[in-house]
Amino acid sequence: MPFQRRFPIPLRPRTLLVLGVIAGLILCMWQTSRLAREQALQALRQDAENELRLSAASLVGHLSRHDYLPELLASREMVKRFLSDPDAQDPMPLNRMLDRFRATANVSDIYLLDHTGETIAASNWHRPDTFIGQNYRFRPYYQEAMAGKNGSFFGLGIQSQDRGYYFSAPVWLDESATEDRPDGVMVLKVLLDTVETGWAEQDAELLVTDHDGVIFMASHPELRLTTMAPLTTAQRQAVTASRRYGDAALPPSGLREHHRRDTRTRLVGFDSGPLAGQRYLSLARPMADFDWHIHIQKPLTPVHQAQWLAAVLAGGLYGLIALGVGIGWQRLRLRRERERFAERERHTLAQARDELERHVESRTRDLVATNRRLSAEIEERQRAEDSLRATRDELVQAAKLAVLGQLAAGINHELNQPLAAIRAYTENARAFIARQRVESADANLAQVLELTERMADISAQLRQFSRKSGDNLTAVAVTPCFAYALRLFQSRIQESQVTIAQHWPTQEAWVRADPVRLEQVLVNLIGNALQAMSEIPEPRLTLAIVAEATCVHLDVIDNGPGIPEAHLTRIFEPFYTTKTMGSGLGLGLSISRRIIEDLGGQLDASGHNDGGAHFRVTLPRIADPDDPARPEESSHA
């Protein structure tokens, strides 16, 4: 299917503009050149007019300067005398006189014709082509003079073939009978060449045409004896009859009119000949006295130059203006573009700023809200912490009471046993006293005394445990502390037949602590261990103190069921217990860890190689307060 364009492609505005500018340039150059041409033509015409007037005047002057001379010579006695009988006289005196006049007047020739038209005396008597003996009866100047008038004629010389202007005057032997036929004719010939020589220097072609349009004078030699227009047959016959131009062929000059500006002014060119290829402004002016026309042909070169110059200048000016306008327009466009860009930038910036402000506002709102929430949370935490601290203190106390409760059974057992024994020993003592067996009674009383001491011992321990703990941290020796805690479980240990392994250091290790609280922690750990081993066939409790350079470890290790891996972290949570209702609160370990952490240490639980659980209290070691100068060496049991 052949491709068919359905819509013409629209010309882009830029292309249109460029085309418009080019069209404007052409129009401007064309119009300016037209104007310049018109002005230059007018100026040229003016010049031509002036030159033509001057040339015509000079030609007329040149010719008419001598027109009086034939008449003057015709009246000379010598002329009349000779004419009265030429054959009988010597012509030489007259010839010489005529030659003298010729030389003085600076004319070509002066000669005398008799009434038949034959030359009888001439200034050129001495030249081979002398007129003497020639008959000029056919010449109009002879005929006019013989008619009794001054005559004139121009044409080619019969002998010389020179173009000349002839003036003639009738000669009467008797001047009183001028109505008679004249007796002779005095003729003067002026050459036209000298006039043309002057013309050759002008920047124009000058022509003189006769009434038939034959160019007989021209500044350019080749134009001489050509015709403005081809001669008609009648014209040619008349010219031949007068022998004005001898046998000259009189061809057309090749002049062609291109444009007629007014009746006298034309633009012409030559089809052939030396002036072909140029255009001229042609101006003609009649020379009424001679029935001639004088023509001037001014070359149009200055007109063309002016035209070109004007066109180039106009084009240049137009180009400059167009360039200026283009640059101005571009700058305007750039400025507008910049302004638009700046506006867009401003707009974008403003948008971004608004966006940012909105963002900042919303963030600020969020932050304020968060801040408020945080403040509230902080306050809440503060409150919670305060209440936690209070609760913890209470719990410590409660736990202590709980431990006391746990111990109650043991204590009960400890006290009831000696009480029952005291009663028995006292009854025995009374019986022995009644039987007068003083020694036996004393032995029983001694037993009573020992038992009371033991009870006092237990009481002292209990008092010490229930002592309200304070923040009075002191240097504490860890071994007695451990031993005291163990002692509280003495009866239970014996009952359950637990094997105790103790690894005490050889040198005492000291820590900074509240001894009551530390004992409380150890009691708690030992209690848990004993409880864990209650079902175990061979319970074994290991207590160890490991003193290192900067810290002291207190280990409580049992061979009970141990703590499952998953529970290791949970057992320190408050109220986490695996024990049956009433047998455990789940507070012991959490309180213990808290106490140890308050002392700057830590409490960890892990599994033991034998199975069972391993609890380790680690506290910073301090120097022996009794020997502060010497830092404590680490020692191991």
Binding-site ranges for ligand ADP (CB under 6 A): 524, 528-529, 532, 558, 560-563, 571, 576-579, 584-589, 613
CB of 434 to ligand ADP, least distance (A): 52
CB of 390 to ligand ADP, least distance (A): 20
Residue 623, strand partner residues: none
CB of 497 to ligand ADP, least distance (A): 18
CB of 486 to ligand ADP, least distance (A): 15
Report which secondary-structure segment, H or E, holds 622. strand 613-622
CB of 382 to ligand ADP, least distance (A): 27
- As a whole number of angstroms, the distance between CA 521 and CA 484 comes to 12
Alpha helices by DSSP H, listed for 497-587, are 515-532
- As a whole number of angstroms, the distance between CA 545 and CA 551 comes to 11
What 3-state DSSP class applies to 265?
strand
Beta strands in 409-562 (DSSP E): 474-477, 499-503, 510-513, 540-547, 551-558
CB of 613 to ligand ADP, least distance (A): 4
Tell how strand 510-513 and strand 551-558 pair up. Answer: unpaired
Contact (Cβ atoms closer than 8 angstroms) between residue 409 and residue 394:
no
- As a whole number of angstroms, the distance between CA 221 and CA 215 comes to 11
Report which secondary-structure segment, H or E, holds 167. strand 163-171
Nearer to ligand ADP, 190 or 585 (CB): 585
Beta strands in 374-470 (DSSP E): none
Contact (Cβ atoms closer than 8 angstroms) between residue 486 and residue 549:
no
CB of 493 to ligand ADP, least distance (A): 15
Nearer to ligand ADP, 299 or 607 (CB): 607
CB of 534 to ligand ADP, least distance (A): 10
Tokens of 577: 């217990």
- As a whole number of angstroms, the distance between CA 509 and CA 633 comes to 9
Considering only the C-alpha atoms of the chain, give the largest distance between any 2 of them, rounded to a whole number of Å: 250
- At residue 575's C-alpha, the angle toward residues 572 and 580, to 5°, is 110
Nearer to ligand ADP, 40 or 587 (CB): 587
Q: How far apart are the first and last CA of the chain?
A: 111
Helix crossing, 438-466 with 301-434: angle to 10°?
A: 160
Nearer to ligand ADP, 435 or 503 (CB): 503
Tokens of 352: 């971004």
Nearer to ligand ADP, 275 or 533 (CB): 533
Nearer to ligand ADP, 296 or 563 (CB): 563
Nearer to ligand ADP, 73 or 521 (CB): 521
Q: Which residues of 80-113 are buried (b: 16+ CB within 10 A; e: fewer)?
A: bebbeebeeeebeebbebbbebbeebebbbbbbb
- As a whole number of angstroms, the distance between CA 269 and CA 258 comes to 7
Nearer to ligand ADP, 412 or 578 (CB): 578
Phi–psi pair at 621, nearest 5 degrees: -85, 145
Nearer to ligand ADP, 525 or 547 (CB): 525
CB of 454 to ligand ADP, least distance (A): 29
Nearer to ligand ADP, 188 or 589 (CB): 589
CB of 495 to ligand ADP, least distance (A): 18
CB of 564 to ligand ADP, least distance (A): 9
Nearer to ligand ADP, 255 or 585 (CB): 585
Phi–psi pair at 145, nearest 5 degrees: -65, -40
Nearer to ligand ADP, 86 or 410 (CB): 410
Nearer to ligand ADP, 250 or 521 (CB): 521
Contact (Cβ atoms closer than 8 angstroms) between residue 293 and residue 287:
yes
Q: How many CB atoms lie within 10 A of CB 24?
A: 13
Tokens of 254: 């090749």
CB of 555 to ligand ADP, least distance (A): 12
Residue 605, strand partner residues: 615
- At residue 571's C-alpha, the angle toward residues 566 and 573, to 5°, is 115
- As a whole number of angstroms, the distance between CA 208 and CA 228 comes to 10
Nearer to ligand ADP, 151 or 601 (CB): 601
What 3-state DSSP class applies to 90?
coil
CB of 420 to ligand ADP, least distance (A): 31
CB of 430 to ligand ADP, least distance (A): 46
Which residue is it, tokens 């001439």?
122
